[in-house]
Amino acid sequence: MVEMQFIDHPLIKKNSMEARTYQQAIFGRAVQKNTMVVLPTGTGKTNIVIMVAAYRLTKLPDSKILMVAPTRPLVLQHCITFKRIMNLPGQDFQAITGHVPPENRRDVWSGARLIFATPQVVEHDLIGGLLSLENFSLLIMDEVHRATGRYPYPFIASQYMRTAKNPLILALTASPGADAGKIEQIKKNLFIENIEIRTEKDFDVRPYVQPIEIEWRRIELPQPFQDIKRLLGEQLKEHLSVLKKYGFVESPWATKRELLRVQQEIQTKMRENEPSPPQYLYECLIAQTAALRLTHAIELLETQGLDSLHRYLDRMIKRAKMPGSGRAIKLLANDVRTKQIFYVVERLGKQCEHPKLKEVLKIVRQRLSENEKSRIIIFAHYRDSVERLVSELNKFEFIRASKFIGQSSREGEEGMSQKEQAQILDKFKTGEFNVLVATSVGEEGIDIPSVELVIFYEAVPSEIRFIQRRGRTGRVKPGKVIVMLAKGTRDEAFYWSAVHKEKRMREFLKESEDEAPPVEQKVIDEFAREEKVVKVIADHREVPSGVVRELARLGVAVEARQLEVGDYVLSDRVGVERKNVSDFLQSIVDKRLLEQAKRLSQTFERPILILEGEGLYSQRAIHPNAVRGALAAIAVGMGVSIIPTVDEKDTAAVLSIIARREQIEESRKVAVRGEVKGLTLAEQQRFVVEGLPGVSAVLAERLLEHFGTVEKIMIASEKELQEVKGIGPEKAREIRRVLCSLYSP
Produce one character per residue of 463-480: b if its CB has 16 or more CB atoms within 10 Å, e if not: bbbbbbbbbbbbbeeebb
Whether pLDDT at 468 is above 70: no
Kindly state the average pLDDT of the residues 81-102. Answer: 89
Furthest-apart CA atoms within the chain: distance in Å: 109
CA-to-CA distance for 589 and 102, rounded, in angstroms?
55
DSSP 8-state class, residue 718: H
Q: Would you state the pLDDT for residue 508? A: 60
pLDDT at residue 1 in the model: 41
Kindly report which listed range (393-407, 529-543, 577-591) carries the lowest average pLDDT score. 529-543
225 or 467: which carries more pLDDT confidence?
A: 225
Mean pLDDT of 455-477: 65
User: Residue 40 in 3-state DSSP?
Assistant: coil
Predicted pLDDT at 115: 95
Instruction: Name the packing angle between helices 279-303 and 223-245 (round to 10°).
Output: 160
pLDDT band at 3; cut points 50, 70, 90? low
Instruction: Examine the pLDDT at 474 and tell me if it is beyond 70.
Output: no
User: Which one, of 650, 663, 655, 653, lies nearest residue 534 by Cα?
Assistant: 663
Q: Residue 676 — very low, low, confident or very high, per pLDDT cuts 50/70/90? A: very low
Lowest mean pLDDT among 59-73, 278-292, 613-627: 613-627
Mean pLDDT value across residues 677-689? 72
pLDDT bin (cut points 50, 70, 90) of residue 516 is very low
Percent of the chain's residues with pLDDT above 90 = 18
Cα–chain center distance at 260? 31
Span 349-362, mean pLDDT? 81
Average pLDDT of span 118-128: 84
pLDDT computed for residue 476 by the predictor: 60
Neighbours of 120 (CB within 10 A): 14
DSSP state of 32: T
Among 149, 161, 156, 169, smallest CA distance to 125 is for 156
Run of H or E residues at 583:
helix 581-589
- Overall average pLDDT of the 64-78 stretch: 89
For residues 122-127, average pLDDT? 82
**How far, rounded to the nearest angstrom, does the alpha carbon of residue 137 sit from its chain's CA centroid?**
18
Residue 608 predicted with pLDDT over 90: yes
pLDDT at 117 over 90: yes
For residue 728, give the 3-state DSSP assignment. coil
Residue 442: predicted pLDDT: 66
Beta strands in 487-554 (DSSP E): 535-539
Q: What is the spatial distance between Cα 389 and Cα 119, in angstroms, rounded to a whole number?
A: 34
Residue 695 phi/psi, 5-degree rounding, is -100, 115
Q: What is the predicted pLDDT for the residue at 616? A: 83
Higher pLDDT: 416 or 59? It is 59
The 435-438 sheet, strands edge to edge: 212-219, 479-486, 453-456, 376-379, 435-438, 401-404
| Closest CA relative to residue 177, chosen from 200, 153, 146 | 146
622-629: average pLDDT: 84
Up-side HSE of residue 175: CA atoms within 13 Å toward CB? 27
Q: Collapsing DSSP states into helix, strand and coil, what is residue 261? A: helix
* pLDDT band of 461, cuts 50, 70, 90: low
Give SS3 for 353: coil
The reported pLDDT for the residue numbered 690 is 75
Q: Mapping DSSP to helix (H, G, I), strand (E, B) and coil, where does residue 42 land?
A: coil
Global pTM value? 0.54
Beta-ladder partners of 338: none
**Highest-scoring range by mean pLDDT, 71-75, 140-144, 447-451:** 140-144
Pinpoint the alpha helices (H) of 175-305: 180-189, 223-245, 256-272, 279-303
Residues 6 or more apart whose Cβ sits within 8 Å of residue 184? none
Nearest residue to 303 via CA among 483, 470, 539 = 483
User: Among 538, 608, 603, 563, which Cα is nearest to 5's?
Assistant: 538
SS3 state at 141? strand
Residues 692-736 have pLDDT tens digits of 887 766 678 888 999 999 899 999 999 999 998 888 888 889 889
Instruction: Check if the beta carbon of residue 63 is closer than 8 Å to that of residue 134.
Output: no
Rounded mean pLDDT of 633-638? 87
pLDDT band at 525 (very low <50, low <70, confident <90, very high): very low
Rounded CA-CA distance 203/99 in Å is 44
Q: Does residue 308 carry a pLDDT above 50?
A: yes
Q: What is the pLDDT of residue 621?
A: 64
**Average pLDDT of the residues in 52-60:** 93
Partners of 454 in the beta sheet? 377, 481
Per-residue confidence (pLDDT) for residue 526, from 0 to 100:
33
Task: Name the average pLDDT for the chain.
Answer: 82
Report residue 582's pLDDT band, with 50, 70 and 90 as the boundaries. Answer: confident
**DSSP bridge partners of 571:** none
Say which amino acid occupies 130: L
pLDDT of residue 677: 47
E strand map for 316-366: none
Q: How many residues are present in the chain? A: 745
Give the C-alpha separation, 242 to 239, whole Å.
5
pLDDT at 224: 86
Identify which of 189-203, 640-654, 689-703 has the greatest average pLDDT.
Answer: 640-654
Q: Reduced to 3 states, what is the DSSP secondary structure of residue 124?
A: helix
Domains of the chain: 21-199 (3.40.50.300), 212-218+356-510 (3.40.50.300), 223-351 (1.20.1320.20), 527-665 (3.40.50.10130), 681-740 (1.10.150.20)
For the chain, the straight-line distance linking the first and the last C-alpha, in angstroms and rounded, comes to 42
Q: Please report the pLDDT score of residue 404 as a whole number.
A: 84
Q: Assess whether pLDDT exceeds 50 at residue 166.
A: yes
Mean pLDDT of 602-626: 82
How does residue 553 score in pLDDT terms, banded at 50, 70 and 90? low
Q: How far apart are alpha carbons 333 and 529 in whole angstroms?
A: 66
- Contact yes or no for 446/74 (Cβ under 8 A): yes
Q: Higher model confidence: residue 556 or residue 87?
A: 87
What share of the chain has pLDDT > 70, as a percent? 84
